[in-house]
Amino acid sequence: MSFEVSHTLMTVALAALLIGGLAGVLGSFLVLRGQSLLGDVISHAALPGVVAGFLMSGSRSFVAILLGALVAGALAGLSVQLLRRGAGLKSDAALGVVLSLFFAAGVVLYSVAQGRPGAAGLQVFLFGQAASVLRSDVVAMAVVAALVLGVIVALWKEFQLISFDPEGARAAGLPVERLETLLSVLVAVAIVLGLALAGVVLMVAMLIAPAVAARQWVNRLGPMVVLAAVFGAGSGMAGAVLSALGTGVATGPVMVLVASSVVAVSLVLAPGRGVLARLAMDRRARRSLHRRQVLEVMAGLSAEHANPAYRSEETMLDAYLGTPARPVLQRLEREGLIRQVPHGPEGRAHWELTDEGQAGDRA
């Protein structure tokens, strides 16, 4: 029993690792080229292909279903292009039309398939069910994934150029349209491979989330793709194993929630652009501004009173700054630019510029 469980778990984990990694790599290009929602459309549009593949092959044949999904996904991508270029529709309208019509076709075909034997297996493609993946499926996935990665490595420079500078690529004489089509086909392949795990509705998140998370940490394409693959593989594996342990829990949602958490953590922690980094930057900027304001005010008062060591009252500095000046004053004191002096009968705190402070070190 325990051997069987671990055997199934191994298969599931391996498949999720492959799919998550592949989706991360291709998602990076999708996100950088501003085509995230095209991934959504292609994955929804795969539904009629999945069912048509099932109806034609008469069984839950992995290859037939994947081929059907691929053809439907490619047709959907092509339809979006035609509606935009041919009919002049805005991109969001074209995407919405294709998504909803292909999905409607999928629902109609699904109702046809429901009477057939073995149709219950189709349900896994809606939300994904990791346990439905067989060992032989994993071998097929690995072969296809290796092919896709091979193409990306071979055409790395070209894909890099069309992602960042399509005009430059065209000027350099690259066949940009053909490369873009190839990239879209590779994306469709990755989506289709992941359907059994993540489902048609949620596969898009497995493309986008790892890429967006990786983008927060690095600024170069190479590291971004590698990091997205790692994030995708990690969240895929974690999600698949978690859902396989629970009963009656679809895999897609768990994978997507893990991947979304990775994005949330990245948005908070990322160096340079994350929420925490921005807060720290704001704090540094505020401190430096306050420091300069206090020095300016004290120098101004000194000049006004023709007394380089004029003693400014702390409450007055509070009023100038608009917030309690004490922390700023203490930092300046540590720097040796000002010092506290007792003054007046009330003994209220007063501050004067040191020689160093008078020298005008206000940087």
| Edge-to-edge order in the sheet of strand 349-353 | 312-313, 349-353, 338-342
Q: How many CA atoms lie within 13 A of 157 on its CB side?
A: 3
The reply on whether position 99 binds other proteins by CB under 8 A is: yes
Please choose, from the candidates 29, 49, 22, the residue with its C-alpha nearest in 3D space to the C-alpha of residue 183: 29
Other beta carbons less than 10 A from residue 287's beta carbon: 13
Applying CB under 8 A, among 9, 55, 71, 101 the residue interacting with other proteins is 101
Cα separation, 357 vs 363, in Å, equals 11
Exposed/middle/buried for residue 99 (C-beta within 10 Å: 0-12, 13-18, 19+): buried
The reply on whether position 35 binds other proteins by CB under 8 A is: yes
Closer CB to other proteins, 33 or 343, in the complex: 33
Applying CB under 8 A, among 10, 56, 63, 87 the residue interacting with other proteins is 87
Closer CB to other proteins, 189 or 250, in the complex: 250
Cα separation, 299 vs 90, in Å, equals 60
Question: Sign (positive/negative) of CA torsion 82, 88, 92, 93?
Answer: negative
Please choose, from the candidates 115, 101, 4, 95, the residue with its C-alpha nearest in 3D space to the C-alpha of residue 47: 101
Exposed/middle/buried for residue 282 (C-beta within 10 Å: 0-12, 13-18, 19+): exposed
The reply on whether position 89 binds other proteins by CB under 8 A is: yes
Site size toward other proteins (CB under 8 A) is: 56
Show the CA angle centred on residue 140, arms to residues 183 and 132, nearest 5°. Answer: 110
Stretch that binds other proteins, among 89-97, 158-166, 218-226, 318-326 (CB under 8 A): 89-97
Cα separation, 340 vs 155, in Å, equals 67
Applying CB under 8 A, among 58, 78, 90, 305 the residue interacting with other proteins is 90
Closer CB to other proteins, 49 or 252, in the complex: 252
The footprint of other proteins on residues 190-229 (CB under 8 A) is: 201-202, 204-205, 208-209, 211-212, 215-216
Applying CB under 8 A, among 44, 290, 291, 311 the residue interacting with other proteins is 44
C-beta of 279: minimal distance to other proteins in Å?
13
The reply on whether position 141 binds other proteins by CB under 8 A is: no
Applying CB under 8 A, among 96, 132, 321, 358 the residue interacting with other proteins is 96
The reply on whether position 31 binds other proteins by CB under 8 A is: yes
For other proteins, the binding residues (CB under 8 A) are 31, 34-37, 39-40, 44, 86-90, 92-93, 95-97, 99-101, 103-112, 123, 126-127, 201-202, 204-205, 208-209, 211-212, 215-216, 248-250, 252-254, 256-257, 260, 263, 267, 273
